[in-house]
Amino acid sequence: MKPTLQAYRSLLFICCAVTFGCYFSTSMRLPVVPLYARTLGITTAQIGLFNAAFFLMAGLLSLPMGAVSDRTGSKPVAAAGLTILAATAFALLLCDTFGSLTLAYLFFGLGTAAFGPTMMSFVAQISPSTHLGRSYGWYTTALFCGMSLGPAVGGFMAQRTGFEPVFNFIGITLLCVLGALVFCLPGQASTAKGGAAAAEGRPALRELFKNRPLMACWFVTLNACFGLGMFISFIPLHAHNAGLNVKEIGLVFFAQGLCNGFSRIPFGHLSDKVSRRGRLVMIGLAGYTVSLGGFGTSQTLWHFLGYAVLSGCSMGLAFTSVGALIAEVVPAESRGVAMGGYNTCIYFGMMLSSACMGGIIQVIGFAYGFYLTAVLNAAAIGVFWHLYRRQ
């Protein structure tokens, strides 16, 4: 049963606040850990690999964690994820080798897989069908505002205090977020009921794979997040080679995340008013493809900032519509699994980018690496439309 409109707004606010705190904290490491790894003598390819370890673990576990949240409710799974994230942040203080950083990033992936899909499923559960677009607009605005402010604060702190205080701050902040979730977010009933639901799990999953609009959303998410993995893993190194310092690199992340976040509020309302959300997805992806190619040409702070703004706005348009479209085209009892699959595509896309492109960049350079990624995303737009229009 859906909550009243007033209760819906209160629950959505709590979800947004908790999600902002989680992603603000964890994204503080994004411009910091690659540069910290360089001080330890870790190579560009190895930095790509331990980032890939995070994406691999988050990708592998997001779908099963979504299924668990369908059966047990979102709150306990999300709380477990925050606990793991906080413990891992403190563990970064002990990491001084490629192997130890890889292990830490595997646990970051586990915690993120437990938190992300469960909160997305919770938002769908509490939202009226007429408000799905704006719900994901507000929710993902909170998420990306956290992701935009986190790197900026992390870069500023690292510039002033060094790397280790940043890791302490991340862990303490995550513990505060955990307390807010436990005491402020009400429990949510599971959407699956007992053994019968468990027995039907595999057939239901097979049916999801026959859902062409859902497959279109998953596919295009995988490809777009290949580009996002390029941004997260290699923009710090590409920009540093161009002469930007750690604070300026944090500002680039800030611009991308801020535009990504705040653009989702109007785009979410727009998504609720159009008859076919897929067209908005394609328009957003076209702009995103241009931004990826633009990063390859960037040589100054203003170049990086300009394409970061285009990237953020384009992603805001595309992915607000994707999230609402997934919630719209699957049954309510399968939304946890569908959102888990969506998160799996996010992390697998970024994992493939981090794992493959580090070695490729060492051969062809950062510029051609971004050009290649732009070409792959352009091709993905056509595949999306082929699948989506045949629903």
Mean pLDDT by groups of 10 residues along the chain of 391 residues: 68 89 91 85 82 82 80 83 94 89 92 87 75 76 80 85 90 93 70 44 65 86 89 87 86 83 79 77 92 92 93 88 79 73 81 81 90 91 79 51
One-letter amino acid of 138: W
User: How many CB atoms sit inside 10 A of residue 277's CB?
Assistant: 25
pLDDT for position 293: 93
Tell me if 133 sits within 8 A of 321, measured CB to CB.
yes
pLDDT for position 197:
44
Q: How far apart are CA 305 and CA 269, in angstroms?
A: 27
Residue 270 exposed, middle or buried by CB count within 10 Å (0-12, 13-18, 19+): middle
**Residue 369 pLDDT:** 92
Dump pLDDT digits (tens) for 358-377. Answer: 888 888 999 999 999 999 99
Distance CA 42, CA 57 (A): 21
Query: Among all chains, which residue has been given the structure tokens 């793991």?
Result: 84
Q: Residue 112 is inside which H or E element, if any?
A: helix 98-126
Q: What is the CATH number of domain 5-185+200-388?
A: 1.20.1250.20
What confidence score (pLDDT) does residue 42 get? 85
Residues 230 and 211: their CA atoms lie apart, in Å, by 29
Q: Please report the pLDDT score of residue 194 as a whole number.
A: 42
Conformational region of residue 211, where left means phi above 0, alpha means psi within -120 to 50, and beta covers everything else: beta
The candidate with the shortest Cα–Cα distance to 366, out of 354, 374, 378, 358, is: 358
Q: Tell me which H or E stretch contains 105.
A: helix 98-126
Predicted pLDDT at 174 = 95
